[in-house]
Copies of this chain bind each other. A is one copy, B any other.
Amino acid sequence: MNGSDSKSRILIQLDPDLQPSVFDSVVAVDAGADILLRHAGVTPEQVQNLVHGAIFTRGPEDLHNTAIFIGGSQVSQGEALLNAVVKSFFGPLRVSVMLDPNGSNTTAAAAVRVAAKECQLAGATSLILAGTGPVGRRAARLLAREGSAVRVGSRSVERAASVCQKIGQQLAGSTLSPHATETEEQTSAALDGVQVVIAAGAAGVRLLSADLLRASTGLQVAIDLNAVPPAGIDSIEVVDRAVGRHGISCYGAIGVGGIKMKIHKAALRRLFDDNQLVLDAEEIYSLASDMGL
Residue numbers of A with Cβ under 8 A of B are 1, 5-6, 8, 10, 12, 18-27, 29-32, 35-39, 41-42, 46, 49-54, 56-58, 66, 73, 261-262, 265
Task: Check B53–A30 contact: CB distance below 8 A.
Answer: no
A267 to chain B, nearest CB (A): 14
A91 to chain B minimum Cβ distance, whole angstroms, is 14
* Given A19-B39, A49-B19: A26 touches B58 (CB 8 Å cut-off): yes
| Given A30-B58, A37-B38: A53 and B21 interface contact (C-beta under 8 Å) | yes
> Residue A53 contacts which of B1, B22, B31, B265 (CB distance < 8 angstroms)?
B22
Using Cβ atoms and an 8 Å threshold, which residues of chain B touch A6?
30
Judge whether A22 and B38 touch: CB under 8 Å. Answer: no
In angstroms, how far is the closest chain B Cβ from the Cβ of A265?
7
Q: Indicate if the CB atoms of A22 and B18 lie closer than 8 Å.
A: no
Contact yes or no, A25 B53, CB < 8 A:
yes
Contact of A26 among B24, B41, B42, B53 (CB under 8 A): B53
